[in-house]
Structure 1
Amino acid sequence: MSNLANNTKLDIDRIIFIGRTFEEYVNMFDLSIANLKNKKVLDCPAGACSFSATARENGLDVEACDIAYYFNNVELYNKGKEDIKHMINKMEKSKSNYNWTFFNDTDDLKDYRIEALDTCVKDMKMYQEKYHAVELPQLPFSDNEFDILLSAHFLFLYSEAFDFNFHIQTLEEMLRVTKEEIRIFPLVNIEGDRYEELDKIIHTLNERGYTTEEVQVNYEFQSNANSFLKINIK
């Protein structure tokens, strides 16, 4: 564990290190490799997602940040394997809360999560400089450093843990480091209900001169989680 992790009094047991694959990101955010060419992209927070790694293999410029990156690769890999096991066991008891169209079953889901973890940790070893330890709402990047920022399964989802002010502060930092657009997925809380402060968030963004759009996608695993918020900056 790094000294920085010790200084933040961060406990790895509080971290859930699970991620999605590049294929899932393409579906969640309605992305294409062609549209990301010549763009600098930030995945925030990225967890154990393989988006950055696979994007790099396709010639794209993507960096990742997450509070989990305060810990070393071995700790994170072991934590990820345990978290996947725990998630699958829990999901076996609540299958009806999910839409099993993208994934065939829990075994298929497990394969996707293991693929993401393996790919992510392998890439972290090779391109450590592309993975940044952060603790939101602060980001250690320059103004307008990235063209596009993608944020999956964090904002809005955990509304019981993070209040409106935290969301606004985090969005302000995301907007500060991004030049063109931000995409946030999904727009529901952990129970699958629309984030109760979303309209207030959108109103605040619009008042500050940003245009927003709720975009529906052909991807839905968690019930009702089938759209993202697009914030246009330019």
Structure 2
Amino acid sequence: MSREIEFKGLDLPEIVFIGRTYDEYKAMFDLSDDVVKNNTILDVPAGSCSFAAIANSLGGKVTAADIAYYHSAVKLYEKGLMDISQIVSSLSMTREQYIWNYFKDVDSLKRSRRQALCDCVAHMKSNPDVYVPCVLPELPFEDEQFDITLSAHFLFTYADRLSLAFHKETIKELLRVTKKQVRIFPLVDLKSKRYSEMETLLEFIQSSGWKVEEQLVDYEFQRKANSMLRIYKS
């Protein structure tokens, strides 16, 4: 049984289907509307983010990829609502880990997450080809198919569950499908600790012929999650 087929059967409860809005993406990745409109972009893993939906409605060319997309839009919408409720209810125990500037309170966070989910699922139903199922570290795309690749809240975020080898394999694959830049956000895990193998990973990226820098961004909800990796060709 191939790895892809094995993961197609992944139980939906094992997937967390949460997403951010288009405006959050612009802030997290230091993007302008012009950059979005004038580049082909891959978002992976995209979850229930509304970036592809809104960007494409503005004339952009964004493709979203995620293991969750092996499931139907209807099931993902139901799962997304449950995940949002669960995360919101747990915030009372972890509220001090967040900075309440971008979101004024828990209710505004909940509305934002629900809006992202609704926009994503509606777009998924009308434009299914935009949403490509995949199992990282492998991607079903051609070499240099995208100008820019964005990856949010996966690598580094789950550092306790993803090995250094997995990080390397995934970044190597992101670089393969990208022509200009890869941007990864944030650089800390769920406890706001910087990825312990970051220096090793930076050396790996540079040895692959790419330049890399850590860039502060104008977005911080989780404490210390306010910078991204910008990987680019010289």
Matches of 1:20 and 1:66, distance apart in 2: 14
Task: Detail structure 1 runs of 4+ shifted over 4 Å in the superposition.
Answer: 4-7
Matches of 1:37 and 1:125, distance apart in 2: 22
Matches of 2:233 and 2:163, distance apart in 1: 24
Match of 2:141 in 1: 141
Q: Percent identity?
A: 45
Match of 1:161 in 2: 161
TM-score between the two structures when normalised by the length of structure 1: 0.96
TM-score between the two structures when normalised by the length of structure 2: 0.96
Match of 1:201 in 2: 201
The correspondence of residues 7-46 of structure 1 with structure 2, limited to 5 A, is 8-46=8-46
Give the letter aligned to residue 227 of structure 1: S
Give the letter aligned to residue 195 of structure 2: Y
Give the letter aligned to residue 87 of structure 2: M
Match of 1:174 in 2: 174
Where 1:224 maps in the other structure, the secondary structure is coil
TM-superposition CA deviations, 1:32-72 (whole Å, max 9, x none): 01123321100011000000000011111101000000000
Structure 1 unaligned runs (5+)? none
Match of 1:101 in 2: 101
Preserved CA contact (<8 Å) 2:8 2:70:
no
TM-superposition CA deviations, 1:177-218 (whole Å, max 9, x none): 000000000000111011001111001111222100100012
Where 1:179 maps in the other structure, the secondary structure is strand
The number of residues matched between the two structures is 231
Preserved CA contact (<8 Å) 1:5 1:70:
no
Task: Report how far residue 6 of structure 1 moved.
Answer: 6.8
Matches of 1:7 and 1:30, distance apart in 2: 33
Matches of 1:173 and 1:6, distance apart in 2: 20
Preserved CA contact (<8 Å) 1:192 1:224:
yes
Structure 2 unaligned runs (5+)? none
Task: Report how far residue 161 of structure 1 moved.
Answer: 0.7
Matches of 1:26 and 1:92, distance apart in 2: 28
